[in-house]
Amino acid sequence: MVSLKMNDTEIKLLTLLNSYGDVIELDWQFNVQEILDQLEQLDSKFITGPNGKHALNLTGDTKSIGVDSKDKHNADQEYTEHLHALPSLKSFFDCWEKLARCRCIKIDEGGFFSLHRDAWKFNPQMRIFIPLNKTERHQWNFIYDNSLHDFKPGKAYVLNTRKQHGSFAFEGGIYHVLMSLYLTENNIRSIHKMLPNTMGDKR
């Protein structure tokens, strides 16, 4: 079990990360239709959760969602068979280290995430959010820090989830990928390589 208290290096990394913004779009494009087709083949593997949501764990345990489990914060969680069945998504996961629990979420019509905060204490983690489809406002709304925020489908975002956020689905069949990973120098370097609108060396 990794300590959930940040050391000096992690605090500095978090400060650097936050200097890039609260919602950081990464320069990585997924083959969304391929991923959605593969997720359809895994439909029976999703575990039903509360509030019109279903989860498919991509790292760690595949038997339960484990929302309230302390094990979800364990570092270096292994890829599940589900992630191996999603090669286009796995290639993105391969860019990162020290993954905690990561999952794909399927949301029904009327499904929602209540307003909440993630990793808001001394948790040395960050979050990557990948909305795969149906991001138009008539389909799905994302509330971030008391305002509606728009996302592009098939793009990855580093998201400051220490700020209040939640979402609501007006249509069903909405898929998102939620990644939890630890603050490390290598993970920050991976972000550097994917930051848009930068000049010079991206090491």
Asked whether the beta carbons of 32 and 153 are under 8 A apart, the reply is: yes
DSSP 72-109: GG-SSPPBPHHHHT-HHHHHHHTT--SB---EEEEE-T
180-197 confidence digits (pLDDT tens): 999 999 999 999 999 988
**How does residue 62 score in pLDDT terms, banded at 50, 70 and 90?**
confident
Instruction: Provide the residue ranges of all domains of the chain, joining segments of one domain with +.
Output: 8-65+80-194
Q: Which tens digits make up the pLDDT trace of 119-150?
A: 767 789 999 999 999 999 999 999 999 999 99
- Cα–Cα distance, 21 to 18 (Å, whole number): 5
Looking at domain 8-65+80-194, does it have CATH number 1.10.287.1400?
no
Please report which confidence band the pLDDT of residue 70 belongs to, taking 50, 70 and 90 as the band edges: low
Angstrom distance (rounded) from CA 9 to CA 1: 19
Mean pLDDT of all residues in 169-177: 99
pLDDT value, residue 2: 53
Sorted by sequence, the CB contacts under 8 Å of residue 6 that are 6+ apart come out as 14, 122, 123, 124, 183
